[in-house]
Amino acid sequence: MAVEGGAKCVKYLLFFFNFIFWVCGLALIVLGIVAYVHIHNTAVTNISASPAVWLIVVGVVIFFIAFFGCCGAWKENYCMVTTFAVILSIIIICEIAGAIAAYIFRGNLNGVLDQGFKEAFAKYNTSIETKKAIDSLQQELKCCGANSSDDWVNFSTSHTSVPDSCCKNMTDNCGKGAIHDSSIIYTNGCQPAVETLLKKSMLWIAVGALVIAFIQITGIVLACVLMRAIRSGYEVM
């Protein structure tokens, strides 16, 4: 027995909201990828990419669950709609847990970056991968060292040189003897720039997650109303 009246309106609303969920799932995947790329670009640190990967996983799950919810609403299947509501509730709980973890991580970001940069600088002359990552970071963010160019004081035996990637106009041996020459090299450190970049990414992720969570809660309410209407129809039969 098909639902009628107001319940039929809820059915179509739920179908529409599931389309929104589909878009939200796609948005989470994109946000996760952007966050992962930003974290990957700071590979000189020991920052974990787990939050970004978690965001991508949640986005993929929502992407497919939305299709499941659309089918349940269209076919007025009580079991499918109920399963959709339960899974969506679990996803919201996971998102809240992820938001709490991100907030806690945000408070420790400065310490994590500081330790990460120290370890990276120690491996600059021995690890090709670390060297490439640091050089790329310094050129992209127009910075030198963690807090300043002084962090490269042990880069060479003369204690006056910095990597060529610190130079404003990067050429071979341009950083030789230029540790304090602001006309040749960038003297500002990379850590503040990286911290600002990561915090900005986290802020956008938080805003996106809040908007998506609101839409998800609306979907759960609609699913519950439709479940009740479907069940009432079964009881009448």
Structure tokens belonging to residue 39: 């974290």
Residue 234: predicted pLDDT: 45
pLDDT of amino acid 237: 31
Per-residue model confidence (pLDDT) at position 40: 62
Six-digit token pair at 36? 């992962």
Note the pLDDT of residue 186: 93
Could you list the pLDDT tens digit for every one of the 237 residues in the chain? 455 556 678 778 888 877 877 787 888 788 778 777 766 655 554 445 556 677 788 788 878 788 778 777 777 778 888 888 888 888 788 777 777 777 776 667 777 788 888 888 888 888 888 888 889 889 988 999 988 999 898 888 888 999 999 999 999 999 999 998 999 999 899 988 888 877 777 777 777 777 777 777 888 888 888 888 877 764 333
Integer Cα distance of 43 and 37 in angstroms: 10
3-state helix/strand/coil string of 190-232: CHHHHHHHHHHHHHHHHHHHHHHHHHHHHHHHHHHHHHHHHHH
Which pLDDT value is given to residue 165?
93
Question: In the prediction, which pLDDT does 92 show?
Answer: 82
CATH architecture classification, 128-191: Orthogonal Bundle (1.10)
